[in-house]
């Protein structure tokens, strides 16, 4: 188990300023997700930590010790996109690649057992399914007992059904081996579901770090709010104690003047006794629930409601707000 501490990391590629002072701390044994849209610098961050790129400024510490050496001396394992198994080696050859010869056989058996692929030693990478390839790639990274494992969008190439199951398995495996891990992803569902700690990255900096629940419930700004989930953002006016929007008044201390109010769709509860009336415009049905587009006297909002008693487009329904609204100054 090892901690990872990244401080003030800068990296430019010609005119492109890819990292602009990245700070990130991952406690020992934790799984951190770096979440950001493509091009935000998250893959560069990962490559700097692994030692494939040299930072222009800043430090990377593993277990408190600054690392500057080449990748092969960092004890940092990587799981790239689509696994990237060595095509000319079989499964045992891949997993044993980073292990000293005398321990190889035993370690390969141990890891195959761990990832649930015992008996696959002699298979070739092309004979494995996508999910199996990813498990072998993880086993290969874990085999030399690295201080840290970096996962670069490892599930993007898999189909949706496989993804959820594999995510849970991988998170469990990392926890069972006590490995500190950093997962880079643009998929907020993946980050929120797997990680102990989520770092939201945008334009080369980490804008917010916190637990998944924290990030979802208390995003640092509206962009982050939109990025980590569906958001209802309404203009409002605050007077120091409360803020008024088309949905009524919400508690809001210490804000004055024009503000933006953030609600999550599941906070808009159907309540036909409420005085706040809305017209149903359309529905998108998701099975377990549905997103309902509502018209609130000219303002469009979205609510998430349980399946079962969904309204029809054109219906007029009453709604109220459950829980706290988050207020951002304009």
Partner 1 sequence: MRATLWRARTLELVGRSLWLALTVTVATLVIGIGAAWLVSRTDLPGRRVWRVALGLPLALPSYVAAWAWLALRPEMAGFNGAWLVLTSVSFPYVYLPVLASLRRSDPALEEVARSLGRGPLRVFLTVTLRQVRIAAAGGALLVGLYALSDFGAVSIMRYPSLTHVIYTSYRASFDRTPAAVLGLVLAALAVVVVLVDARTRGNERVARVGAGAARETAAVRLGPWRWPAAGGLAAVLAVSIGVPLWSLTTWLERGRSTADWNEVGDATVSTLSVSALAALATILLAIPVGILSARHAGRLSRSVTAAAYAGHALPGIVVALSLVFFGVRLATSLYQTTAMLVFAYVVLFLSLAIGAVHGSVAQAPPVLEDVARSLGRTQAGAWRSITIRLAMPGIGAGAALVFLTVMKELPATLLLRPIGVDTLATRLWSLTGNASFAAAAPYAAAIIVLAAVPTALLTRDR
**Considering CB under 8 A, how many residues would be counted as binding partner 1?**
24
Residue 70 in the binding site for partner 1 (CB under 8 A): yes
Residue 130 in the binding site for partner 1 (CB under 8 A): no
3-state secondary structure of 316: strand
**Contacts from 94-97 at CB under 8 Å and sequence distance 24+?**
94/125, 94/136, 94/137, 94/140, 95/136, 95/139, 95/140, 95/143, 96/143, 97/140, 97/143
Whole-number Å distance between alpha carbons of 203 and 300:
30
Instruction: Specify the residue, 84 or 242, whose C-beta has the smaller distance to partner 1.
Output: 84
User: Which listed range, 80-88, 257-265, 267-275, 287-295, lies at the site for partner 1 (CB under 8 A)?
Assistant: 80-88
Residue 42 in the binding site for partner 1 (CB under 8 A): no
Residue 102 in the binding site for partner 1 (CB under 8 A): no
We find the least distance from the C-beta atom of residue 21 to partner 1, in angstroms, to be 25
Q: Quick one: DSSP state of residue 266? A: G
Whole-number Å distance between alpha carbons of 137 and 48:
20
Tell me the sheet residues that pair with 5. 25, 61
For the record, the structure tokens of 160 come out as 């949706």
Segment 272 to 291, residues that bind partner 1, using CB under 8 A: none
Residue 154 in the binding site for partner 1 (CB under 8 A): no
Residue 107 in the binding site for partner 1 (CB under 8 A): no
Instruction: Specify the residue, 138 or 317, whose C-beta has the smaller distance to partner 1.
Output: 138
Whole-number Å distance between alpha carbons of 308 and 102:
61
Instruction: Specify the residue, 31 or 143, whose C-beta has the smaller distance to partner 1.
Output: 143
Instruction: Specify the residue, 87 or 119, whose C-beta has the smaller distance to partner 1.
Output: 87
> What is the DSSP pairing of strand 31-35 with strand 248-251?
unpaired
What is the CA angle 315-317-323, rounded to 5? 145
The only residue of 57, 86, 145, 257 in contact with partner 1, by rule CB under 8 A:
86
The only residue of 30, 35, 50, 128 in contact with partner 1, by rule CB under 8 A:
50
Whole-number Å distance between alpha carbons of 314 and 228:
30
Instruction: Specify the residue, 71 or 210, whose C-beta has the smaller distance to partner 1.
Output: 71
Instruction: Specify the residue, 78 or 252, whose C-beta has the smaller distance to partner 1.
Output: 78
The only residue of 11, 74, 250, 255 in contact with partner 1, by rule CB under 8 A:
74
The only residue of 71, 130, 210, 248 in contact with partner 1, by rule CB under 8 A:
71
We find the least distance from the C-beta atom of residue 228 to partner 1, in angstroms, to be 29
Contacts of 109 (CB under 8 A, 6+ apart): 118
The only residue of 13, 69, 72, 288 in contact with partner 1, by rule CB under 8 A:
72
The only residue of 45, 67, 78, 147 in contact with partner 1, by rule CB under 8 A:
78
Report yes or no: 78 and 142 within 8 Å, Cβ to Cβ: no
Residue 84 in the binding site for partner 1 (CB under 8 A): yes
Short-list 201, 160, 154, CA closest to 181: 154
We find the least distance from the C-beta atom of residue 200 to partner 1, in angstroms, to be 26
Tell me the sheet residues that pair with 185. 35
In 32-121, alpha helices (H):
42-50, 91-95, 101-114
Q: Which residues bind partner 1 (CB under 8 A)?
A: 50-52, 70-74, 76-78, 80-81, 84, 86-88, 97-98, 140-141, 143-144, 146
């Amino acid at each position: 188990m090892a901690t990872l501490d990244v401080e003030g990391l800068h990296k430019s590629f010609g005119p492109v300023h890819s990292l602009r002072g990245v700070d990130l701390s991952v406690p020992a044994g934790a799984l951190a997700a770096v979440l950001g849209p493509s091009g935000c610098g998250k893959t560069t961050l990962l490559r700097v930590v692994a030692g494939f790129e040299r930072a222009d400024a800043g430090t990377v510490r593993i277990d408190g010790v600054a690392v500057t050496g080449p990748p092969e001396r960092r004890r940092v394992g990587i799981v790239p996109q689509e696994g990237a198994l060595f095509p000319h080696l079989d499964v045992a050859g891949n997993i044993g690649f980073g292990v000293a010869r005398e321990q190889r056989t035993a370690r390969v058996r141990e890891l195959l057992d761990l990832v649930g692929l015992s008996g696959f030693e002699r298979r070739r990478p092309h004979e494995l399914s996508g999910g199996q390839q990813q498990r072998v790639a993880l086993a290969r990274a874990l085999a030399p007992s690295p201080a840290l494992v970096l996962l670069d969008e490892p599930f993007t190439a898999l189909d949706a059904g496989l993804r959820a199951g594999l995510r849970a398995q991988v998170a469990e495996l990392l926890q069972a081996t006590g490995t500190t891990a950093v997962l880079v992803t643009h998929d907020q569902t993946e980050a929120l579901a797997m990680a102990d700690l989520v770092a939201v990255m945008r334009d080369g900096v980490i804008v917010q770090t916190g637990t998944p629940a924290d990030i979802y419930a208390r995003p640092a700004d509206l962009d982050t709010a939109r990025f980590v989930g569906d958001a209802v953002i309404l203009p409002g006016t605050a007077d120091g104690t409360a803020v008024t929007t088309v949905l009524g008044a919400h508690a809001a201390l210490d804000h004055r003047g024009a503000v933006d109010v953030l609600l999550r769709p599941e906070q808009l509860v159907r309540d036909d006794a409420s005085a706040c009336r809305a017209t149903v415009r359309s529905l998108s049905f998701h099975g377990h629930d549905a997103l309902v587009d509502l018209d609130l006297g000219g303002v469009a909002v979205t609510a998430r409601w349980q399946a079962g008693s969904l309204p029809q487009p054109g219906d007029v329904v009453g709604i109220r707000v459950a829980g706290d609204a988050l207020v951002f100054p304009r």
